[in-house]
Amino acid sequence: MNKPKMATEKGVPSNSRVLMLLGQLERMNGEAMVRDVETARQITAKIFHLIQTQEKSGKEVMSKGSSGMEVILASLENTRDVQTTLNILYILSELLTVGRGRRVGVFVSKGGTGILFQILITAIKELPPSEELMLQLHSLLAKVGPKDRKFGVKARLSGALNVTVNLIKQNLQNTKLLLPCLQVLRVYSTNSVNAISLGKNGVVELMFKIVAPYSKKNTSLLKVALDALGALLKSKTNARRAVDGGHVPVLLALYQDWHRNDTRHRHMLIRKGLLVCLRNITNIKLGRKAFLDADGMRILYNSSTECLPVRTLDPLVNTSSLIMRKCFPKNRLPLPTIKSAFQYQLPHVPSVGPVAQLYSQPPGGRKIPQLCDRPLMKVDDVVDESDDNEETDADTENDTENDEDEKDQRTANDDIETDLNKLHPKKNPGRPFEELRAYERFFLELSEDFQGYNFESSKSASTTSSSFSSSASTRSTRPIIVPTAQALSPKLDPKSGSQGYCNPTKGQHTLPSPTVPTPTPPAPLTPLELDTIHLTKDQDKKEEARIPSPETCTTLSPLATPPSQGQMIERDLAHVLECVSLEEEGPLNTGEGGGREVKQEGSTVNATRHIQSPLLLGGIATRRVGGGGSNWGSDCGSEGAEDEGGEGAVLEVPDTALLLPLHDPDLYVEMVKGTHSVPQYAEVAYPDYFGHVAPTFREPLQERVYGVQRSKIFQDTERLIHPNDIVDKVVYDLDIPSCPVIEDDGESLKFNSQFESGNLRKAVQIRKYEYDLVLNSDINSNHYHQWFYFEVSGMRVGTTYRFNIINSEKSNSQFNYGMQVLMYSVQEAISGRPRWVRTGTDICYYKNHFARSSIAAGGQKGKSYYTMTFSTSFSHKDDVCYFAYHYPYTYSTLKMHLTKLEALRTPQIYLRQDVLCKTLGGNSCPLLTITAMPESNSNDHICQFRNRPLIFLSARVHPGETNASWVMKGTLEFLMSTSPLAASLREAYIFKIIPMLNPDGVVNGNHRCSLSGEDLNRQWQNPNPELHPTIYHTKSLLQYLAHIQRAPLVFCDYHGHSRKKNVFMYGCSVKETVWQSNISATSSDLQEDLGYRALPKILSQIAPAFSMASCSFVVERSKESTARVVVWREIGVQCSYTMESTLCGCDQGKYKGLQIGTRELEEMGAQFCVALLRLKRLTGLRNHQHLLDLESDIIGTQAKVVSSSPTTYVMEEDEPPFLEPIDYSAESNDEDAEPENEHAAEVQGNPDHLDQLSDSETNHRDQR
């Protein structure tokens, strides 16, 4: 027999004693080991002594290249002597005690686990079995088991499970042997098959014999027994056994006993073990019921409350919180139906898809304009009857609630496009050119010869530029007529004078709006109210603010009934619109000294605007115009208020038109008159009227307060523990169309969302200063609850209110990572600070106890909604405040801005406004053309003008992504500015811009969809001209350009992103898509111009908010019908992008640690223009790769792709499940936490670090 190769570590002599003894032992292997038992005993005893007393001996045996372990294991396998076996087990135990697991890994790799099981099976057959041998074997198995992935399988196949179980049964009082046996049982039970097998053998009941009430003895044994029991109870079968055996009350009683007696908190692990057992039992419905029947909610709530002051007990609080949340009875949303409160009848319903399913259900929404007081419901779509009767995926959730994220990680890369034929862009005209020729009218700049144009005359230049526009420019030159009550005749269409934003181009494709009401009879919420508003400028003329008399408002007799006293009296701030007077034609103007002086049309607006002081109305405030949806025009004051107000009732309000060049409150009102909404809003929100001036101070990301989420969850749990403390009073409800604002005794806040882009369906007062808020679904949908915009009044100064939005759907939110809601104070605006500011404390986002029906969850059962909660206080008495998800930007605001932009046009600017089409709701979709006028009408200049490359920009396909409109505003303002850079940019390109692709969604307060109930950014492959007119005609424009060989150089669709920070781009690349998948491709397949990376690379160099690291150019299957992919694939635009702007803030660059504001968003829009100018210069140099080093940049920014398979239609988002490590239980370092929670403690000190951790994983997921 060859001598073993005893390689040793540096510094250890090769002829060391332990190696000599191992050599002797090796030579004895085989028959000699059986014959010479005494020698084997002596050698093994000496080796054990050396390893036990000399650290270097163990290193020699375990050193790399040494065969020491093989020799020891061979001897163990061959010996039949109990003492020799024990000596070898002592040796192994000593060796494996150190080494940080590496030595155990070596032991397992050499087959050591199987040898131990073999010896165990052999030894148990001897009667009686050696107790010491059983003790050592199980001690060693307990060390090895956690490191051997197949330990459970080996144990089951070898028959070791029964051996260990029998030993436990026979030695319940022998704690010395019982402990290692339980340790091994704990490892056995981690295998689900073993756990079921052990349960059948009565091990669950056996464990309950071992666990005991509080005692200072055998605590280690009890801890291991609870761990083993917890592992067994992960099996639903075993959990049912525990419930059937009546063990849930036993566990609760034990936990109470240990909680009361362990006053010095020395046995926290035992208490935690008891909670883990309860947690696993409550994964099944029977367990939850047994827990509730045993008063478990109250027991855990009280014990957790007592643990809160001690930070080290957080693992107990966290696990208790998880159990209570899981066992909290699922509630239904307080709604009659999850369909939108507003229903719009489509011209035709799609044959398949979510909208078809919605229409197949019984009617439950509120039809407009035919309002019905009680919707007829035949099927309850809010909650499933069987929601809690079946075991669902929710039953198996553990410490993390991001189970969707785990599934996504398992299916990584599944969504990446692998079909090379689809990855190579192929121009697809789609429609015959004869049809597309109709779109030539939108490209007059490509054929205009400017003959007869006087380039020397500024006036001529301006008017000629207007002549290029079709009807839109005509609109801009004629006065906007504001019809008044006196001007209306009985037969005149009330809306005929208010649709003057832009008329459709002659012959262009427009769609009739099914919701445009007929002139008679007028609907209760008709926008006529805006036309009949009388606005006064001061207190002296307040009587003119009343409802027009029948003599002066003959056409409104059906509506002009005197308001009741209850309708006239309201204790909140009156709308400014009720205190200003609209004249027939011309802007609002103020006289000096506070008196009203109506000036003639064309007079200038003074720097201040006089309005009634809401502070001095003596508590008798007025109902807003159309307030509550029932009163079309209540009084704007009362005599009592006038008497109390006195001379001090006039405030000077800064004219926001001077603070904001593109904002004019009076013009905004005119724009609202031409805006069509499904609910027929007749009210203007203060923030949209006053405008928003970006604050000059920084707004940092909010630092997450430790334990805030846990405290909110405990407050929610108190609703069940102390039901008598809950008010549960509905204070606002859109499902009561006759009177959404519910009057009360003044003890509740008042809510309102009945204005353009508003979204709040219901408000329920839970406690005196706490309100549950329910958002409205997108019209013709039953989901997409994210955007909110609502008004609050009637608040108390200095009181902290808590608001809970309870029907959010996404599994996580940036509200967990520093984002705050936005608030607009009217009192602040009146004081000269008209602005949205970030506000809110104790903000968090977590899963709640409101059940989502399978109808709302795409057929999935057992899903819950999420709560976004925030607290805030108010600084002013009699204030009216507005809250919004992000900075609102309404469709009427866009129309106002475009009108103001036209006024900025200089003779050198070519600007044309067209109406691309009419939307389903009857709103116009504007199309802008911006470029530079040619220098002259010479052939060279005209040729240069016509041949400029085209840039095609669009925005706001998703209504809730208002930041996209602010970026677009920055782009438009830059393009229309007089700076040399802007002039150069106009000379370099022709810009075709559609600033709002989804006007209907924006107007009606949708988050994601149009009136068709569909995500328009998923309709680009095959848009329907009736259901998706803006997408259909936009794609037709691009197809026309492709036909005439003038495809845009750059296409960019502006979006907002709710789950990531910074601004970034998604593009399309064959090479990068192939790199991120496992498909094989030839070099010819991967050939492509790297220029697609040029624009984002430039932006990363010049725009502080832009992050190149967050960009992705991977094409995913689930995004094949988005604008970016379709324009790239079918139109052949290589530089086709989605530019995403964060709704939260930045974690890099100049704005790191700050929340994003409108100033930064508008700056981003301007920087995009500058980047295009640089791109032009680089294109001229034809040297992308040298200047930008694009190839190395691509390689250098490769990141892990985390993709998911396409989700259900319910949450078909451009954002994936959020992968930031958020602990939904609470914020502690829970030892049982899943991998997602390992960084939970870092949330407190460095929330930015969390985003850096997660963004690297999610960079390439959210492609549009």
Beta-carbon count within 10 A of 772 CB: 24
The pairing of beta strand 841-851 with beta strand 608-612: unpaired
Q: Within 10 A of 225 (CB to CB), how many other CB atoms are there?
A: 27
Closest CA to 1146 of 1064, 1061, 1218, 1220: 1061
> How many whole angstroms from its chain centre is CA 112?
50
Residue 223 and residue 221: Cα distance in Å, rounded? 5
Q: Give, as one character, the DSSP assignment of residue 681.
A: -
Other beta carbons within 10 angstroms of residue 491's beta carbon come to 8
* Distance separating the N- and C-terminal Cα atoms of the chain: 69
Query: Which tokens is 1038 given?
Result: 């691009």
Give CA–CA dist 340/783, Å, rounded: 8
Give the tokens for residue 901: 């932009």
- The burial class, CB within 10 Å (0-12 / 13-18 / 19+), for 47 is buried
Q: Left (φ > 0), alpha (ψ -120 to 50) or beta: where does 1092 sit?
A: alpha
Length of the chain counted residue by residue: 1264
Closest CA to 705 of 42, 128, 173, 1227: 1227
| Distance of alpha carbon 5 from alpha carbon 752, whole angstroms | 85
Q: Cα torsion at 356, 357, 359, 364 (round to 10°)?
A: -160
Question: HSE-up of 866 (CA within 13 Å, CB side)?
Answer: 20
Q: Cα 413 to the chain's mean position, in Å? A: 22
Helices and strands, number each (H, E), in the chain? 49, 20
Q: Please choose, from the candidates 937, 722, 952, 705, the residue with its C-alpha nearest in 3D space to the C-alpha of residue 842.
A: 705
Catalogue the active-site residues.
1140
CB 872 within 8 A of CB 773: no
Residues 6+ apart with CB under 8 A from 743: 566
Alpha-carbon span 1259 to 812, nearest angstrom = 16
User: Residue 499: left (phi > 0), alpha (psi -120 to 50), or beta?
Assistant: alpha
Q: Which residue has the tokens 């002066």?
A: 552
| Torsion region of 526: left, alpha or beta (phi above 0 gives left; psi -120 to 50 gives alpha) | beta
Separation CA 1203–CA 405 (nearest Å)? 10
Local structure of residue 1206 (DSSP, 8 states): -
Q: DSSP string covering 1124-1174, please?
A: HHHIIIII--SEEEEEEEESSBBSSGGGBTBB--HHHHHHHHHHHHHHHHH
Map residue 734 onto helix, strand or coil.
Answer: coil
User: Cβ of 1236: how many Cβ atoms within 10 Å?
Assistant: 21
Give the span between the Cα atoms of 845 and 100, in whole angstroms.
39
In this structure, what are the phi and psi dihedrals at residue 980, rounded to the nearest 5 degrees? -60, -35
Q: In whole angstroms, what is the distance from residue 1202 CA to residue 416 CA?
A: 10
Name, in order, each residue with C-beta under 8 angstroms of 952's C-beta and a sequence gap of 6 or more: 992, 993, 1037, 1038, 1041, 1048, 1050, 1051, 1052, 1127, 1133
Asked if 124 and 130 touch (Cβ cutoff 8 Å), the reply is no
Give the helix/strand (H/E) hosting 229.
Answer: helix 219-232
Structure tokens given for 1191: 């190839």
Residue the block writes with tokens 């970016």: 1124
